[in-house]
Structure 1
Amino acid sequence: MEVTTGHRWASRAQFFSSGFIFATWGVHVPTVKAHYGIDEAQLGIAMLAAGAGAMVGLTSAGRWIGRHGPRRMAALCGCIYALLLAGLIAMPGYPALLGLLAAFGLVTSVFDVAINTEAAQLELHGARPLMSGMHGMFSLGGMAGAASGSAVLAAGLGPQAHLLWVAAAMVLVVAIASTRMLPPAAAPADAAPAARGFRLPRGTLAVLGVLAALGLIAEGAIYDWSVLYMQQELRSPQEQAALAYASFSAAMAAARFGGDAMRARFSPAALLLGSGVLAAAAMTLVLLTDLPWVALAGFAGVGIGFANVVPILFGASARVPGVEPASGIAAVSAVAYLGFMAGPAVIGLLARASSLTAALYVVVVFAVALAASARFTEGGSRA
């Protein structure tokens, strides 16, 4: 199958859109909290509802994508993902918000598996590393979404208007990009029958899933709580607080765009060890300082630290012998996204029991755990 420049840019556009949409949700976490009059624990439960929806999606993502192809599932789920943004502060109450976020999590998870499967196929057929760069586009989208959100809030645009504009723009981008993705491919003849649907990961996939979960728990904590941390703990105005997400995403994007070259030069263990140490040190700085701009620099360091953890592990999961790429990614994602979605809820509960500052030390703990487990990646996750 010939891979063209158009295929690569279509995939980059999908990752960018995913990051932009997710960043818009991150920017409006304080808006949602204030609109529905809920505390950190209730907000954490709302995020857990999204996690429950994501787990439902992941149990079927491999089968759906295997049947319909990444292109169709990306188009369908990506458009719904964008449209659900418009309802974040339009629900009649907190229970309805939980339902919306459950649907949000479901389509997010399937969209993510679809575009990661596409990226894995582009790597395979193009014979060169691409996954870190694709995830860099996710981070670039996150930076753009957070920065533009900060700008429009500072300019006085209402939250609902902002959500509507973003939803419309992202539907357009996803729909156009989907038309340029690779056509559906037949399943490999040597794929095991069980790999065609969802199964709990075992062996190599289980190890990759646990390691990815550690990275995504910490990454999800920054996405969902950094803006509120700046606003609530450091008393930053919302337009400045939104820069925490932008700083984290910009640094992560920059590191990911160089990640494919680093994956070709350094071993996965060396990269994971350095990443964990840097992320732990930077997050400690964030939590110890009282100065907002120092905290923003710290969030950038955390972004660099976590930048290439997931691309390495997702790329490896798509190359497990006898397992279709979509099923391998879905199996690892099931473990990883359980942490990604449940982690913020746990942090919300810890924040109510102590403080948000104390709760965010979870990020430091998991970064240290990633560094300590670096040797377990030597089984071969290099592109």
Structure 2
Amino acid sequence: MRAAVSAMFLMNGFVVGSWAPLVPELAARHALSESRVGFLILALGLGSILIMPLSGALIARIGARPVLRVTSIACCFVLLPLVFAPAVPVLVAVLFVFGGVIGSMDIGMNANAVVVERRLKRAIMSSCHGFWSLGGLIGAASGGFLINWFGANMHAAIVAAVAFLIVLCAITRLAPDLPVSPDVKPRFRLTLAPMPYVVGLVALFSMVPEGAILDWGALYLRQDLGADVSYSGLAFGAVAATMATVRFVGDAVRRKFGAVRTVRYSALIAAAGLFVAAIAGSPAAAIAGFALSGIGIANLVPVALSAAGNLPGLPAGVGISIATSMGYSGILMAPALIGFIAEHNSFSVAFMSLAALFAVVLALSSVARHADIGEPATAGH
């Protein structure tokens, strides 16, 4: 069960990471400026945000496992329509679907991981996130080389084949959903209590930089720093590598330092890394900065969502849902703003602005104290 859901996280991260080196290829193929690419990414974000609630409602009705099975198969092939899209309007529509599929699978695999945690009676979520980051590293690092050797179309086909092989190995071993009383009708209600939204801000400002590096890091390395196409995917690859490493030991770090200190140290490290990347004079220096930022980013969202699930007087699902929605909106929609900043200023200014976001995380770090109460199920990246 644990291996199967971990494989799903790995595959999802692999597909998302493979998207990163495709961004400059699609921009060149369709002659798109940074702001136009930003609007394309906005379509991806809208697809995810609009479709994710529908998949969440479906999970409440039929369970996480069947939803995860369907969305994981669809996720294997989402890059293929992107590279074969003949025109920008078609590309926009495909990106909308791409966002919906990725987001829906994200909810399904996290919900299934919660089931595994309850069956095993121990936390596994942090390591699952580690497998997602590991998949992102593999996808981003290999993508540039595959595109350079075989072209974007063959790269997408190879990604689809590898992803489908992983799904075939895992799909029949997913944990069955826990039985639910027929009298229980799960409902979701928003709360007017401010604390979950404060925690959601921490998740939001922690996830925006991750999404920006994913969508813009490759273009920054190639356009501003003159990196070869083979190395363009290493911007997000470096982040994914350090995030994966740190997330595998994230629970131990939090137990040693406490949630509040973990968030504070992490925010400072993440800000320093983005600052280094922003002022870098070479691709190697920028990649090193992105790697440092990944060390800081790694534990911020898991701690924030743990805090959201432990807020006093609030059901865990409500707090986590609010924080996850706010965070996901940032990782998927804010990069459109980054494209606007980059076109009218520079990517250096854009990444400098992202570093400043961690000042907000630092200011709100005290809310992380709620994460020290138990080990709730968390979701997201």
Q: TM-score, normalised by structure 1?
A: 0.91
Out of 63, 67, 81, which is 1:69 matched to?
63
CA 1:316–1:113 in 2, change beyond 3 Å: closer, same or farther?
farther
RMSD: 2.3
Q: Where do 1:14-33 residues align within 5 Å?
A: 14-33=8-27
2:323 & 2:182 partners in 1: Cα distance? 22
Cα separation, partners in 2 of 1:111 and 1:273, compared to 1, 3 Å: same
Corresponding residue of 1:353: 344
Question: Would you say 1:219 and 2:213 are equivalent positions?
Answer: no
1:13-63 CA-to-partner distances (Å, cap 9, x unmatched) read 011111100011011110111111111111000111111111112322321
Paired residue for 1:177?
A: 170
How high is the sequence identity, in percent, across the aligned residues?
31
Paired letter, 1:160: N
Q: Which amino acid aligns with 1:344?
A: P
CA positional deviation for 1:317 = 4.3
Residues 201 and 331, structure 1, Cα contact 8 Å, conserved in 2: no
1:59 and 1:330 in contact (8 A); partners too: no
Offset of 1:72 from its aligned partner? 1.2
SS class of match (2:177): coil
Question: 2: distance between equivalents of 1:26 and 1:54?
Answer: 17
In 2, Cα distance between equivalents of 1:75 and 1:201 = 35
Q: C-alpha distance in 2, partners of 1:202/1:161?
A: 50
2:264 matched to 1:273? Answer: yes
Using the TM superposition, give the Cα deviation of residue 200 of structure 1 relative to its aligned residue in structure 2, in angstroms: 7.0
173-182 or 106-115: which moved more? 173-182
Where in structure 1 are there 5+ consecutive unaligned residues?
A: 1-6
2:72 aligns with one of 78, 99, 103 = 78
The one-letter amino acid of 1:169's match is: V
**Aligned match for 2:104, one of 110, 127, 147:** 110
1:284 correspondence with 2:275: yes
**Shift of residue 333, structure 1, vs aligned partner:** 2.1
Correspondence 1:1-383 to 2 at 5 A: 7-154=1-148, 156-187=149-180, 196-197=187-188, 199=190, 202-317=193-308, 323=315, 325=317, 329-380=320-371, 383=375
Q: Is the 8 A contact 2:303 2:371 kept in 1?
A: no
Q: Is 1:244–1:299's contact at 8 Å kept on the other side of the alignment?
A: yes
Residue ranges of structure 2 left out of the alignment (5+ in a row): 376-381
Contact 2:310 2:370 in 1 (8 A): no
Q: Structure 1 residue 318: deviation in Å?
A: 5.0
Q: Could you list the per-position Cα deviations for residues 90-131 of structure 1 after superposition, in whole angstroms to 9, with x for gaps in the alignment?
A: 112111111111111111111111111222333334333322
The SS at the match of 1:184 is: coil
- TM-score normalized by structure 2? 0.91
Cα gap change, 1:51 to 1:201, in 2 (>3 Å): farther
| Pair 65,372 (structure 1): closer, same or farther in 2 beyond 3 Å | same
- What number of residue pairs does the alignment pair up? 373
Q: Mean Cα displacement is larger for which, 45-54 or 64-73?
A: 64-73
User: Which residue of 1 is the match for residue 379 of structure 2?
Assistant: none
* Mapped partners of 1:340, 1:148: distance in 2: 22
Query: Partner of 1:3 in structure 2?
Result: none
**Post-superposition CA distance 1:220-262 (Å, at most 9, x none):** 0111111111111111111122222221111111111111211
8 Å CA contact retained: 1:117, 1:329: no
> Structure 1 residues 202 and 190 mapped into 2: Cα distance closer, same or farther (>3 Å)?
farther
Deviation at 1:188, TM superposition (A): 7.4
Are 2:115 and 2:177, in contact at CA under 8 Å, matched by a contact in 1? no
Bigger shift: residues 195-204 or 63-72 = 195-204
Give 1:291 shift: 2.1
Q: SS of the counterpart of 1:379?
A: helix
Query: What's the CA shift string for 1:254-301, capped at 9, x where partnerless?
Result: 111111211232321111100000011111111112022121111110
Residues 243 and 296 of structure 1 are in contact (CA less than 8 Å); yes or no, is this contact kept in structure 2? yes
Distance, in Å, in 2 between the alignment partners of 1:329 and 1:115 is 15
Contact 2:48 2:100 (8 Å CA) reproduced: yes
Partner SS for 2:81: coil
